[in-house]
Amino acid sequence: MSEPTSTVRIEYLRPPDRREVFIQELLLDTPEVKITLAESVPFDPPIRVHGQVALEKGSDAVWFTFPGMWHDVGRFHRADGTFTGLYANILTPPRFLPDGVWETTDLFLDIWIDPGGSLSVLDEDQLEEAEAKGWVSDSRARRARREARWIEEEHRAGRWPPRIVGEWTLEKARQSSSSNVQAAQSRPMSR
């Protein structure tokens, strides 16, 4: 396991040409999983799933990136820290470049698991539109759908999400955050 490099720069392409950059703190970096913390996200209006707020301005999200996999997973919360569910983006396996730069391309499909464990596949209409407009190739669209089906099957069998996603709660992520560690180290010790 390697020590985190503090922050990563995630360059996220959403076809055809929308590019977003996310700066997140890297909390854990292993060959199997990379865990990052997105603090105080700027989503206004909030992201809603099935009419419920999943992520809003001021929320934190814990992200799990699995090298070589065609999805990542976010633990979403309200601004007050209330867990709202798990959100998996179907995307190309991230490329890990020097200096903490990651590149990936969104493939439109998303998976949502509410706190009760119910799974929904989201945004099939967006993938169909991207396919029709030539923004996503037929083979990439098939790969995205295959990944979503695999997640559904693994979830039904009780094998998904990976155990680490349940272990790394927002509280644990905040405790591991260098900003919290630095703040604790700078406080005078009580006697």
CA distance 156 to 117: 10
pTM recorded for the entire structure = 0.89
For each of the chain's 191 residues, which pLDDT tens digit applies?
545 558 999 999 999 999 999 999 999 999 999 999 999 888 889 999 999 999 999 999 999 999 999 999 999 999 999 999 999 999 999 999 999 999 999 999 999 999 999 999 999 999 999 999 999 999 999 999 999 999 999 999 999 999 999 999 999 999 999 765 444 333 343 33
Query: How many beta carbons lie within 10 A of that of residue 56, not counting itself?
Result: 20
> What is the pLDDT, as a whole number, of residue 31?
96
> What is the pLDDT, as a whole number, of residue 189?
38
Please choose, from the candidates 72, 141, 152, 73, the residue with its C-alpha nearest in 3D space to the C-alpha of residue 107: 141
CA distance 55 to 51: 12
> What is the pLDDT, as a whole number, of residue 168?
98
The helix (H) or strand (E) run that includes residue 131 is: helix 124-132
> What is the pLDDT, as a whole number, of residue 179?
62
Do 76 and 84 meet the contact criterion of CB atoms below 8 Å apart?
A: yes
CA distance 126 to 92: 16
* Domains identified in the chain and CATH numbers: 6-175 (2.40.380.10)
Contacts of residue 17, defined as CB under 8 A and 6 or more positions apart, other chains included, come to none
